[in-house]
Structure 1
Amino acid sequence: MKKITMATLALCMATLMGCSSSDDEEELVLPQIVNQFETQVVWQESVGNGVEHFFSRLSPAIYNDTVFVASREGQVHALKLANGDTLWKTDVRHDLSFWPWAKNESAKLSGGILQAYGKIYVGSEHGYVIALDRETGKEVWRKKVPGESLSKPAAGDGLIFVNLASGKLLAMHPDTGEERWRFEQEVPALTLRGQSSPTVANGGVLVGLETGKLSVLISDSGYSAWSADIAIAKGASEFERLVDVDTQPLISGPFAYAIAYNGNLAAIDIRSGNVVWKREYSSYREIAMDAQSIYVVDSQGVIYALDKDSGIERWSQPALRGWYLTGPTVAGDYLALGDQEGNLHWVNKATGELVSREDFDSSGFFIEPVVAGDKLILYTRDGEVSAVEIPN
């Protein structure tokens, strides 16, 4: 099984289509806007070297007045939401040397952070899932799992659920890491690097698959309830046949929503698995929603808002095409998105208008902003963690 990053995919596709010389390449320029408000930064802190240039889904987690953040190397910090002060910090690298000058192997943390059952959980490319005490940061357990853990685990029905790059979904006891059951999916020869984070609801575990399907498993047994096609592989080349559902399914009322690369955005009836509506959008970024709309950033960087009930497009915003945006985060009356150069963009969620922009660490954003009460938590590749006010 081969895994391909989006940067590699873009290079491969450019090669297939033919590339112009560097003199003829069109430089991407951000659209000119007049800020309707200025982004108010409350505090900034650093967590090691962040994730650097590696693929990662290490998203901050929030619990009450605490922010949990991890670096790829293995540092996990608990920060006070009000001012960024460090409450505790832990290094989860397995073989920490007594000698401070000795080089310790990176923990390669990539999947997390989940906060649940009085603990925080994080997974690694080395094939470990690690549980830490939420209040102290002390390691509670560490389990070897059969594959890379590249997405955030999920919690519900007394278990945690970990989706692995090997095609296995594990149900584990939150206090011990004991495996309760596993589900194995068929994995195509070529897939995008990344997995769908599971969603747990109503006694079921929803998970997107690399085969373009959304599946529901019974949470206490792992038995399959139903599977629905979000995308169907087409085309002659392996690139054209990529149909990964790598984003976390969202649930609203009786419907689940999922999106596939080279595929569709679909609304599925949770009870039956029947497709309620399906629209042709391609994405590998997380989707977001509020009471009326679903918000999507497609694989080209175009932002869309669609009606949740019908899938009808409300608006589109193409001005940030090519800027490798994060997924959108609903923040009050706005959407917040980061880009590869470290810009935070604010979009009016009713109209799609770009209303403000602020530049942060030039290493760039790799994960969606996270809502924490009246603040947003931002995390850049170089490990800069920022709390900013959500505008009224």
Structure 2
Amino acid sequence: MGLIIWHWRAGAGSGRTESRTLKSGALASKRRDLSINRPSVGLERKRMSDGVSSRGAVWRCGGGDNSRRGRFGRAARLSAEPAGRLETSGAVQASVVFTQSGTAFVADMAGVVQAHQPGGKLWWRVQLDAGISATPAVSADDRVLFVATHHGEVRALETDSGTAVWRQRIPSKSDPRILSDLLYLPRAGLVVLSSWGGQFHALEAQTGQKRFSWEAGISPRAAAAADRAENVYCLRVRSGHGVELVKVSSRGEGQVLLRQAENPEGARRTLVAAGPVLDEERGMAYLILNKAREGELVACRMEDGTVLWRRSLPAAVQAMPTLLTGGEIVVSDLGGWLRSFSSTGAAGWSFDTGSDYLLAGGAGEGDGVFYIGDPLGQVHRINPRGERSVFYRTPRSVQARPSFDPRGRLYIPCTDHRVHVFGAGGKPQAEPPENATGKTE
């Protein structure tokens, strides 16, 4: 397919954007809205001494890194007894993200963003204008946290204090919600997201001003991914076009790599919630293309969108797949099933979690162990041999993807207004498979 170039200019778009640059300063000890502060002249970074000196995998965005693969860089060997819990003001539907030093950032549906020191102590807390379900992103230098709300506002907060650097109101003629996990491109200096206003926006990371935008389709919520060259990959559905995989350079030049014809039910009834997952080592992108109540896993070439293989799924998929260490891709569907496939498309293990549906994807350790939570509150653990167990049970539903901090601790967001944290414990302790609620297919 031919190259489609989007010509853009600063501030151009379907509506007027509101951007304010805000001043850094000391955070009051009690909750307050920081949107009234004045322009800033830079950030002083205060690294905490927490024993993390070597640079390892840092889960700075939804899915861990810009590939969205959901994989930690080494084995964690977790204990099934929680090492602690982080209390929140509302249900948590976004993944926890981190700095290299281990500071954890939690955003909840009450609109509160809070930072916790590596030991779990609350560091700062900020109230924003609306609930948050899009996973925030941390800048590569760990100085800024980017957050977006259901009222269509994007904020840049200093990681050291929670003080606002800037805020941007994303234009929308109707529903302003931002549901897509945020993406940060360090070399381009961009923050990428979509809103229900129907556009993907690439914002200047330093100021919040729009650099360019492109069409996101109907009711967009799927997160964009990016390769090491900072090309952005996204899925969208449009009336008369169907579902499209689009590749956009950091300069705003776009190309439709793949198009699937519109379903008979129409574009408005096509669920596009799981964004692309990239396997750069193999030059592959994994896509979820839903058809009414059924789904399809598609593997294609990142370069040109050539389809390598397709696998039908009995239920549609909302959750982002997870790419494990050996190249296996794990899909969690709206029928409550987990299924793995090799990089060549061969079916691997599969089982029924016992839940009616799965809303969020999982996370993998460096040794291939996989963790995922479900709406029944069960946290499942599956080893590379496909042996499964219920690792832990939370009091309420898990509707967000787990994440690992730089030390290898697992953070499970929950709707019980807490994040459950699990640390190292040698050989993992969990219920034996016969006590698990899942059934092998």
Q: By the TM > 0.5 criterion, same fold?
A: yes
Greater strand percent: which structure?
1
Letter in 1 for 2:81: Q
Change (3 A) 1:197 1:283: same
Task: Give the root-mean-square deviation of aligned CA atoms.
Answer: 2.3
Q: Is the contact between residue 325 and residue 337 of structure 1 (CA under 8 Å) also seen in structure 2?
A: no
2:229 maps to 1:197 = no
2:249 to 210, 215, 218: 218
Which is further off, 330-339 or 125-134?
330-339
Segments of 4+ in structure 1 off by > 4 A? 236-239
Where does 1:3-14 land on structure 2 (aligned, <5 Å)? none
Residue of structure 2 equivalent to 1:61: 97
How many residues are matched? 327
SS at match of 2:255: strand
Letter in 2 for 1:286: M
Q: Is the contact between residue 225 and residue 275 of structure 2 (CA under 8 Å) also seen in structure 1?
A: no
In the TM superposition, what whole-angstrom CA distance separates every residue of 1:332-385 from its partner, at most 9, and x where no partner exists?
A: 44211111132211122x2322223321232x1110111223210111113201
Rounded Cα–Cα distance in structure 1 between residues aligned with 2:81 and 2:317:
30
2:406 maps to 1:381 = no
2:137 to 114, 137, 142: 114
Letter in 2 for 1:109: I
2:160 to 135, 142, 145: 135
Rounded Cα–Cα distance in structure 2 between residues aligned with 1:385 and 1:304:
26
Give the TM-score, by structure 1 length: 0.77
Change (3 A) 1:325 1:162: closer
Where does 1:112-191 land on structure 2 (aligned, <5 Å)? 112-117=135-140, 118-146=143-171, 147-156=176-185, 157-187=188-218
SS at match of 1:264: strand
Structure 1 unaligned runs (5+)? 1-36, 94-106
Rounded Cα–Cα distance in structure 2 between residues aligned with 1:259 and 1:217:
19
In the TM superposition, what whole-angstrom CA distance separates every residue of 1:18-43 from its partner, at most 9, and x where no partner exists?
A: xxxxxxxxxxxxxxxxxxx9612111
Structure 2 unaligned runs (5+)? 1-77, 428-441
In the TM superposition, what whole-angstrom CA distance separates every residue of 1:242-273 from its partner, at most 9, and x where no partner exists?
A: 24253343333211112133342112211112
2:275 maps to 1:247 = yes
Q: Is the contact between residue 38 and residue 358 of structure 1 (CA under 8 Å) also seen in structure 2?
A: no
Letter in 2 for 1:213: E
In the TM superposition, what whole-angstrom CA distance separates every residue of 1:53-76 from its partner, at most 9, and x where no partner exists?
A: xxx5x2211112111001222211
Change (3 A) 1:219 1:319: same
1 or 2 for the larger relative contact order (CA 8 Å, sep ≥6)? 2
Q: Is the contact between residue 192 and residue 202 of structure 2 (CA under 8 Å) also seen in structure 1?
A: yes
Give the TM-score, by structure 2 length: 0.69
Rounded Cα–Cα distance in structure 2 between residues aligned with 1:383 and 1:351:
34
Q: Is the contact between residue 204 and residue 210 of structure 2 (CA under 8 Å) also seen in structure 1?
A: yes
Rounded Cα–Cα distance in structure 2 between residues aligned with 1:182 and 1:162:
10
Letter in 1 for 2:277: P
2:110 maps to 1:73 = yes
Please state how far the C-alpha of 1:163 moved relative to its aligned partner.
Answer: 1.4
2:400 to 349, 352, 367: 367
Rounded Cα–Cα distance in structure 2 between residues aligned with 1:168 and 1:335:
34
Residue of structure 1 equivalent to 2:305: 273
2:390 maps to 1:356 = yes
Residue of structure 2 equivalent to 1:86: 122
Rounded Cα–Cα distance in structure 2 between residues aligned with 1:227 and 1:237:
21
Q: Is the contact between residue 317 and residue 352 of structure 1 (CA under 8 Å) also seen in structure 2?
A: no
Letter in 2 for 1:381: T
Change (3 A) 1:341 1:203: closer
Residue of structure 1 equivalent to 2:322: 288
